[in-house]
Amino acid sequence: MKIKSFLFSLLMLVVGTANAQNWGGGIDDSNLHFGFTFQYISSEYKVLKKLNWKESPSDFSDLPSEIPRGLSSIAAKPSPGFGIGFVVNQKLLENVDLRLTPVLVFNDRVLTYRFENLPITSGQPFSEVEKKVQSTLVEFPLGLKIKSNRRNNFRAYMIGGIKYSTDISSKKNRDNSNVPNPMEMILVNKRSFLSYEAGLGMDLYFEYFKMSPELKLSYSFDSVMKREKLHVFSNPIDKLMLRHVTFSLFFE
């Protein structure tokens, strides 16, 4: 319901700004300008399993009996997050801009493991273990913005580029060295990784500023998982790719 209300309000803004030509603060007359952004993010892992992902390595045979055996599924679900940042926009051509949009992102990702063949004493046919990866990322997206010609107070655009991400969360979110119980081990991600991204948006001009709603998809170039020896949760996984769906509001 909140999303529908927001989209309706956004439509009213588009209709309202179309009635009269607004200056937009002269933003198109500047070769270099700045702004800020608020983002809603939905992130999700794409899990690429090993061929023998259901089989436990022989090194795991010495684990305590209370550790679940018989891994039957690994599932990822979308997790929400948000980001705040700023914009540096360099005009290259009349309809092409180069944009750098550094953002601070707060976002968790979740994997759910389902185990079967539990010890008889458990009294349950299966067990689900949820592993949450907590992260605070600083992201540096660099992209080309290709714009249509302006029509009154509206302009559509496409954007594409690459993004460098680095995790600045505490060390305890990336360290399994002092975890005595294998079931309490965390799923560690690489501290830094690259992604490619593409999206669509629109520029809406007001009297003193320009607002740009934008929807963008990003996908990591390579696996973001840090592989560790004798790790119950990372061992079945060949690659763990990360994808983001980001809705942004830019104010310039």
pLDDT in tens, 199-224: 999 999 998 899 999 999 999 999 99
Q: Residue 158: which CATH number? A: 2.40.160.20
The yes-or-no verdict on residue 5 having pLDDT over 90 is no
Number of domains making up the chain: 1
Q: What is the DSSP letter of 21?
A: -
Q: Give domain status of residue 115, yes or no.
A: no
Q: Give domain status of residue 160, yes or no.
A: yes
Residue that wins the pLDDT comparison between 193 and 28: 193
CA dihedral (144, 148, 149, 153) in degrees, to 10, reads -100
Predicted local confidence at residue 53, as pLDDT: 78
Per-chain mean pLDDT for the chain: 82
Q: Give domain status of residue 121, yes or no.
A: no
Q: Give domain status of residue 230, yes or no.
A: yes
Query: Looking at residues 50-57, what average pLDDT do you find?
Result: 73
Q: Give domain status of residue 177, yes or no.
A: yes
Rounded Cα–Cα distance for residues 10 and 249 (Å):
11
Q: Which domain holds residue 174?
A: 2-57+80-106+135-251
Beta pairing partners, 173: none
